[in-house]
Chains A and B, each alone.
Chain A
Amino acid sequence: MDDSDEALMAWVARGDEPAYRQLTLRHLPAMLGLARRILGNTADAEDVAQEAMLRVWTHAPRWQPLAAFRTWLTRVVVNLCLDRKRRAPWVALEEAGEVVDPAPDASEAAEYDERERLLAGAIAVLPARQRAAIVLTYSEGMSNAQVAEILETSVSAVETLLVRGKQNLRARLRVSDEGK
């Protein structure tokens, strides 16, 4: 039996629950991680991941393989995150303080740690679409074209989002540095 995402989705469209469970097991960890990176909140990320996986089931009969299943599911997760994120407060990533990069000495490591924490805070207050573009690019390693497909916009718009997002982040880091 063909166990590609698209083949499984065809089974799900016919109401095949084992195929749905298989798809869920395959994609839930990545989607949960993505939602957590965009939302910065584990509880909200779990809600979004659950909602996204339920949509896989309910929307399967309507789903058309115009894009890869993974791209479609990522788009669902990102859209749910953006909907949820527009007003909700952001809680800093619990992992923000964790630094695994080897540093020459303790003071440099502490400085790097501090910068990363500040950066996590700065990402938190970015406009939703800029944050989504930055997370998809730097965390998921997607190309601008893939990000554009997921955000349903053009490549040039994604480039603009990234440039503006990084400008915002640098400005916030600069303000933090000057505040010390």
Chain B
Amino acid sequence: MIDDQFEKLLRHALRRKEPSQTDVERVLKRLAGPLPGQKFALWRLPTVLLDWQFAPAWPRVAVLACCAALGFSIGIAGIDRQFVNADAVSSYVGGGGIGMIAFEPDPFPGGRP
């Protein structure tokens, strides 16, 4: 048998035939009952978290940029210096700050043990 004849025979023998309506209805009838519970996979939870979209929200990025520019402007203009000086005064009034502890002005009295 040559190849063409064999191919033709194969196609003919395996030609597609739809099942009868009776067969289909028989299976549908078996499927008509109450359906079993669906399976939910807990292992998909990490996937869901990994699939989370972290695309930047452009309005928030613009607000952040504006805040940065404002901070830079305040720093350059020196508007914040009065607050820094006020802090310095208050620390002096408070008793000299941490420097008083770090540099003890009086030597330890007494001889060596």
- Give A contacts to B, CB under 8 Å: 13, 15, 17, 20, 24-25, 28-30, 32-33, 36-37, 42, 45-46, 49-50, 53-54, 57-62, 95-96, 99, 101, 112, 115-116, 119-120, 123, 134-135, 138-141, 166, 169-170, 173
Given contacts A57-B36, A59-B39, A170-B1, contact A33 B9 (CB under 8 A): no
Q: Could you tell me if B41 and A24 are in contact, using CB atoms closer than 8 angstroms?
A: no
Is B55 among interface residues, defined by CB-CB distance under 8 A? no
Q: List 26 A-B contacts (CB under 8 A).
A: A20-B35, A24-B28, A28-B24, A28-B28, A32-B27, A33-B16, A33-B19, A54-B35, A57-B38, A58-B36, A59-B39, A61-B39, A61-B40, A61-B41, A62-B39, A62-B44, A101-B12, A119-B10, A123-B13, A135-B14, A138-B10, A138-B14, A139-B14, A139-B15, A139-B16, A169-B10
Q: Could you tell me if A46 and B23 are in contact, using CB atoms closer than 8 angstroms?
A: yes
Given contacts A28-B24, A28-B27, contact A119 B39 (CB under 8 A): no
Q: Tell me the complex Cα distance, A29–B20, Å.
A: 8
Q: List the B side residues contacting A135 at CB < 8 Å.
A: 14
Kindly list the 9 A-B residue pairs having the minimum CB-CB distance in the complex, ordered from nearest: A139-B14, A138-B14, A32-B19, A119-B13, A116-B13, A62-B41, A61-B40, A33-B19, A29-B24
Q: List the A side residues contacting B6 at CB < 8 Å.
A: 166, 169-170, 173
Tell me, rounded to whole Å, the shortest Cβ–Cβ distance linking B11 to chain A.
5
- Give B contacts to A, CB under 8 Å: 1, 6, 9-19, 23-24, 26-28, 30-31, 35-41, 44
Q: List the B side residues contacting A15 at CB < 8 Å.
A: 38
13 A-B pairs besides A46-B30, A119-B10 with CB distance below 8 A are: A24-B28, A25-B28, A28-B24, A33-B16, A37-B14, A42-B23, A49-B27, A58-B38, A112-B9, A120-B13, A138-B14, A140-B16, A166-B6
Given contacts A96-B13, A120-B13, A135-B14, contact A32 B31 (CB under 8 A): no
Q: Could you tell me if B24 and A32 are in contact, using CB atoms closer than 8 angstroms?
A: yes
Tell me, rounded to whole Å, the shortest Cβ–Cβ distance linking B31 to chain A.
6
Q: Which listed residue (B9, B16, B23, B35) contacts A115, Cβ 8 A?
A: B9
Q: Could you tell me if A57 and B14 are in contact, using CB atoms closer than 8 angstroms?
A: no
Tell me, rounded to whole Å, the shortest Cβ–Cβ distance linking A157 to chain B.
20
Q: Tell me the complex Cα distance, A46–B29, Å.
A: 11
Q: Which listed residue (A17, A24, A36, A166) contacts B10, Cβ 8 A?
A: A166
Q: List the A side residues contacting B13 at CB < 8 Å.
A: 96, 116, 119-120, 123
Given contacts A28-B28, A32-B23, A32-B27, contact A119 B16 (CB under 8 A): no
Q: List the B side residues contacting A141 at CB < 8 Å.
A: 16
Q: Tell me the complex Cα distance, A114–B99, Å.
A: 110
